[in-house]
């Protein structure tokens, strides 16, 4: 039975919940990796999304049935660029894909949260790129941290690390909340303009805030 998101929020209060978000290329992973080294448990919903659409992942059979073999790579994983273009141009395809993937992501998130609580994690970091857009998260977190940097710097970073071109990146950014919208919900803002040591110093202060909750 697929679990409800309320089952995740019912676990609130066992350990502090930190929501970590930011636009594509902002540096969320760098902050999450630092916090993990300090002992926090990190649950990255984007990583889970990649895992369930990897070869033989639990979402693959349904994706094949709904979209056909053209949307899979030769190794059986999701063809993410092709699917990205499809869902950007066809709202119905987006709904179908989300109906397949979201319950699986939710179930894995809940399972990992319970495991972290059982292991008495000091706090849990939920890395959620679309934290603001999803709606359900905001009211159920003890603290929200936003990793922020100028849009042009984000574009440069993504182009350097991936095969995405500028047009594709701008398309992704347009589908996400604006920089101002994210900053408006932040309890903590971490500025990431390229100096890793400066970013880690801010993450260290965030870590201490979470321990003090």
pLDDT at 1: 45
pLDDT of residue 3 exceeding 70, the answer is no
Q: How far is CA 192 from CA 1, 31, 148, 198, in A?
A: 41, 10, 6, 8
pLDDT for the residue 10: 78
Give the pLDDT band of residue 4 (cuts 50, 70, 90).
Answer: low
Q: Tally Cβ neighbours within 10 Å of residue 49.
A: 20
Mean predicted confidence (pLDDT) in 124-147: 90
pTM: 0.92
How much is the average pLDDT of 86-106? 94
The predicted-structure confidence for 18-51, as pLDDT tens digits, reads as follows 999 999 999 999 999 999 999 999 999 999 999 9
Q: Write down the pLDDT at residue 135.
A: 75
Average pLDDT taken over every residue of the chain: 92
How much is the pLDDT for 72? 97
Distance CA 59, CA 83 (A): 13
**Closest by alpha carbon to 62, among 97, 28, 30, 90?**
97
The reported pLDDT for the residue numbered 123 is 97
- How do residues 175-204 score in pLDDT, each as one tens digit? 889 999 999 999 999 999 978 999 999 999
| Per-residue pLDDT at 7 exceeds 50 | yes
Asked which of 54-58, 116-120, 131-135 is least confident by mean pLDDT, the reply is 131-135
Taking alpha carbons only, the member of 95, 96, 94, 74 closest to residue 84 is 94
Q: d(Cα 77, Cα 75) in Å, to the nearest integer?
A: 6
Q: What is the pLDDT of residue 201?
A: 97
**Position 157 pLDDT exceeds 50:** yes
At residue 55 the predicted structure's pLDDT band, cuts being 50, 70 and 90, is very high
Share of the chain above pLDDT 70, in %: 98
């Amino acid at each position: 039975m697929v679990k409800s998101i309320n089952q995740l929020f019912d676990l609130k209060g066992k350990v502090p919940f930190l929501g970590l978000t930011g636009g594509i290329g902002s540096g969320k992973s760098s902050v999450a990796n630092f916090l993990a080294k300090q002992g926090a448990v990190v649950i990255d919903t984007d990583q889970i999304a990649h895992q369930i659409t990897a070869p033989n992942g639990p979402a693959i059979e349904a994706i094949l049935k709904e979209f056909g073999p053209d949307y899979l790579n030769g190794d059986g994983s999701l063809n993410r660029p092709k699917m990205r273009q499809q869902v950007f141009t066809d709202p119905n395809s987006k709904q179908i894909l989300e109906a397949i993937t979201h319950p699986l992501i939710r179930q894995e998130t809940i399972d990992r949260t319970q495991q972290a609580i059982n292991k008495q994690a000091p706090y849990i970091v939920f890395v959620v790129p679309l934290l603001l857009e999803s709606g359900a998260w905001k009211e159920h977190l003890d603290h929200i941290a936003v990793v922020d940097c100028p849009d042009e710097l984000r574009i440069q970073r993504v182009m350097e690390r991936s095969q995405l071109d500028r047009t594709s990146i701008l398309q992704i950014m347009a589908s996400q909340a604006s920089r101002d919208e994210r900053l408006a919900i932040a309890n903590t803002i971490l500025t990431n303009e390229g100096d890793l040591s400066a970013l880690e110093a801010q993450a260290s202060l965030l870590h201490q805030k979470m321990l003090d909750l």
